Amino acid sequence: MLNGKSVVLIVEDSPIIRMSAVDLMESAGYVALEADCADEAIRLLESRNDIDLVFTDVQMPGTMDGIKLSHYIRDRWPPVKLVVASGKAILEEGSLPLGSQFFPKPYDGHAIADAIGRLLAEEAH
């Protein structure tokens, strides 16, 4: 939480998709942070204590994909909410950490914003 607004970290290697996701999060009233790979996302998580939710793509360059990143985040920062999206991977139930939300690409921006709103509201209760 930053100045009363939830902080969402968007992890996406495609600049156009990442910019679109940032616009979506900011228009929904969240503070949006950006990372283009899991390594950068982890650096941000290590340097900040106000990230409420990570919205990550599955397919990314670097040392880990979005699925491995989501498990790493769940193990290291259990309160952080997770939303995972992919245009290629069909995820089996159970391949993501408990409590994660999965969205196939192309995703509906309103559906993502609604899901993020519900996940963040769980924290408030």
Q: What is the pLDDT of residues 67-116, one digit of tens each?
A: 999 999 999 999 999 999 887 766 665 688 888 888 887 888 888 999 99
Residue 82, SS3 per DSSP: strand
Catalogue the long-range contacts made by 103-112 (C-beta closer than 8 Å, 24 or more residues apart). 109/20, 109/24, 112/21, 112/24, 112/55, 112/83, 112/85
pLDDT at residue 63, as a whole number: 87
pLDDT value at position 110? 86
Q: Which residue has the higher pLDDT, 18 or 122?
A: 18
Question: Which CATH number fits the domain 7-124, given the four candidates 3.40.50.2300, 3.40.50.720, 3.30.930.10, 3.40.50.1370?
Answer: 3.40.50.2300
Nearest partner of 38 among 2, 9, 80, 15, judged by Cα: 9
The domain locations on the chain are 7-124
pLDDT > 90: percent of the chain? 62
